[in-house]
Amino acid sequence: MADFLVILRLYVVLHVLLHAHACWEEEKIALLKLKDAFNYPNGTALSYWGGEESDCCKWKRVGCSKLTKHVIKLSLNDILSEFWGNNNGFFLESSLFHPFEELRELRLDYNNIEGFNGVLRLKKLQMLDLSFNELTEIPSFRGMVSLKFLYLGDNNLKNWSSFQELTTLRGLEMLDLGDNWIAGEMPPSLGAMTSLKSLSFSRNKLNGSFPEEGLCNLKNLQELDISQNSFKGSIPPCISNLTSLRLLKFSENNLSGTIPSDLLRLKSLEYLSLSLNHFEGSISLSLFANNSNLEVLELGSLNNELHVHTENTPWKPLFQLKVLRLSNCNLNEPSRSIPSFLLTQHDLRVVDLSCNSMIGKLPTWLLKNNARLEFLSLAQNSFTGQFVLPVDSKNLDLSWLDVSKNDFQGLLPASIGHILPNLWYLNMSRNSFQGNIPRSIGNMNKLHSLDLSSNSFTGELPEHLVMGCKELTMLKLSHNNLQGQLFPKKWNLTSLLFLYLDNNFFSGQLLPGLLTSSYLAVLNLSDNPISGKLPD
């Protein structure tokens, strides 16, 4: 009997393989009904469905099983751009999807969908993407027992209605509810979703104390993002029991109290962001020494009550950071030195050490050791001496450099534009720089914002700057000792939105037509010995 059943199963499989040359007719009909639904009343979406190609498995946005020819994937994302000319939201009939009994993946993102009429009953569906729509309530997913990945971000969800139904999806591994308008406290019933590995409530209106009762039960969590809400109170120590966490984002809330030291010892952490809260007390980064997977560390403070130490004990990190943000902390008191462990880091892309009152010389080695650095802010510290760059190398990836509000002195390196040619943002204001503005700045042809104000620069506007930096939208040279013709004849900054040349010694007569930017919103030329009428 057992042999007979095996032979029967083989016969059925062979029969399917021999005869399943095209998609199933009932699924083809269902696809055409879907097309009609998206096109109601007079759209032109999915025009390539139902044409000369009769095999719907070959239609765009449709994926079929190679074995059975059943539809297993529908990529119906961004249909709106093809047909919904009036941009009004609409409701879809859930029953339109019921013929696709083998469907595993359904993308409906970017479609202005307001909701569904009826219940989506897709027992084998594993991934559903409804992000970037106009949903105001969580749809009903009863019976979707295989669902693992659910994207509901970037909608208009405002409350917890239907959330209880989500907790019945016991196999759900990924839930994204970020970028909505959900308010109130997080429900304790969240703790029933023990299969979750990734959870995001970022950028909502959630408040109340930290949802300890629910979140601490999710032992399988690998990613947790509740950033940009209004949670208050302290981080409960039980979070350190979530030992599988790789990503943890609590940034931009109203959290306070001390940071649990056990939290920093989670060995699986790759991404930790606690910045822009109201934490206080002391914390030593040496606690991270054995976190070999750590790549992103953000501890910036809002209230300047967090004391961060990096030099209190000898240590050598096992990690290689890509992102470090330690802004507005009481860093390394009383020495106020730059963290020495950074000497061991060679893959940094983002470094923000602003507002820390650090002293000493410019850490040129940060640029030299990290050739792929993209963002560097040392603003609002107390660095002194000359601004020296490594002359034997170029940093082609650096697009943002801010060293404003320090006490750098002397001349800017003549080759700054050759060493940092791809800067998009450069702010060196409120220092004590002297001498001429280097001509090489004109080589920064991607520069959008340049602020050299409140220094002691002398000389004229370099021709290379006003001819080469054609992408500049903001130029601020206020409060210097610059002189010469206010608008050189070869002026070519036609994209300017903001121009500040006040409190200098520019002279000459304002001639019409010299300032050719048609976008200019702010122009400040005050306190210069000039004559004539301001350009129109």
Per-residue pLDDT tens over the stretch 185-234: 988 889 999 999 999 999 999 999 887 778 899 999 999 999 999 999 99
Return the bridge partners of 530, or none: 508
Number of H helices, E strands in the chain: 8, 38
In the prediction, which pLDDT does 11 show?
A: 47
In a domain, 228, yes or no: no
Give the least confident one: 37-46, 204-213, 449-458: 37-46
Rounded (10°) CA dihedral 24, 26, 31, 35:
150
Q: What is the side-by-side strand order in the sheet with 306-309?
A: 281-284, 306-309, 330-331
- What pLDDT band is residue 333 in, cutting at 50, 70 and 90? very high
In a domain, 133, yes or no: yes
Q: Which two tokens stand for residue 226?
A: 């509740």
In a domain, 241, yes or no: no
Report which of 462, 429, 426 is spatially closest to residue 446, judged by C-alpha positions. Answer: 426
In the prediction, which pLDDT does 14 show?
A: 47
Quote the number of domains for the chain. 1
Cβ density class 448-479: b for 16+ within 10 Å, e for less: bbbbbbbbebeeebbebbbebbeebbbbbbbb
In a domain, 180, yes or no: no
Rounded (10°) CA dihedral 366, 372, 374, 378:
0
* pLDDT tens figures, 271-316: 999 999 999 999 999 999 999 999 999 998 898 899 999 998 889 9
In the prediction, which pLDDT does 419 show?
A: 95
Return the bridge partners of 443, or none: none
* pLDDT tens figures, 132-174: 999 999 998 888 999 999 999 999 999 888 888 898 898 999 9
Give the least confident one: 14-23, 96-105, 415-424: 14-23
In a domain, 461, yes or no: no
In the prediction, which pLDDT does 89 show?
A: 77
In the prediction, which pLDDT does 315 show?
A: 92
In a domain, 89, yes or no: yes
Give the domain extent around 165.
53-171
Give the percent of the chain with pLDDT over 70: 91
> Phi/psi of residue 439, each to 5°?
-65, -30
Q: What is the CATH number of the domain that holds 157?
A: 3.80.10.10
In the prediction, which pLDDT does 324 show?
A: 97
- What pLDDT band is residue 469 in, cutting at 50, 70 and 90? confident
Q: What type of residue sits at position 140?
A: S
In the prediction, which pLDDT does 458 show?
A: 96
Spatial separation of the C-alpha atoms in residues 377 and 348, rounded to whole Å = 13
* Mean pLDDT, residues 342-367: 96
Q: How many of the other CB atoms lie within 10 Å of CB of 35?
A: 21
* pLDDT tens figures, 47-82: 899 888 899 999 999 999 999 999 999 999 998 665
Return the bridge partners of 386, or none: 409
How does strand 62-64 pair with strand 71-75? antiparallel
Spatial separation of the C-alpha atoms in residues 295 and 201, rounded to whole Å = 22
Burial (Cβ within 10 Å: 0-12, 13-18, ≥19) of residue 15: exposed
In the prediction, which pLDDT does 203 show?
A: 97
Does position 125 have pLDDT exceeding 50, yes or no? yes
**Cα Rg of the chain (Å, integer):** 30
Does position 497 have pLDDT exceeding 80, yes or no? yes
In the prediction, which pLDDT does 512 show?
A: 57
Spatial separation of the C-alpha atoms in residues 368 and 377, rounded to whole Å = 16
Report which of 411, 346, 405 is spatially closest to residue 385, judged by C-alpha positions. Answer: 411
Does position 516 have pLDDT exceeding 70, yes or no? no
In a domain, 194, yes or no: no
Strand (E) positions, 120-243? 127-129, 149-151, 174-176, 183-184, 198-200, 205-209, 223-225, 230-233
In a domain, 120, yes or no: yes
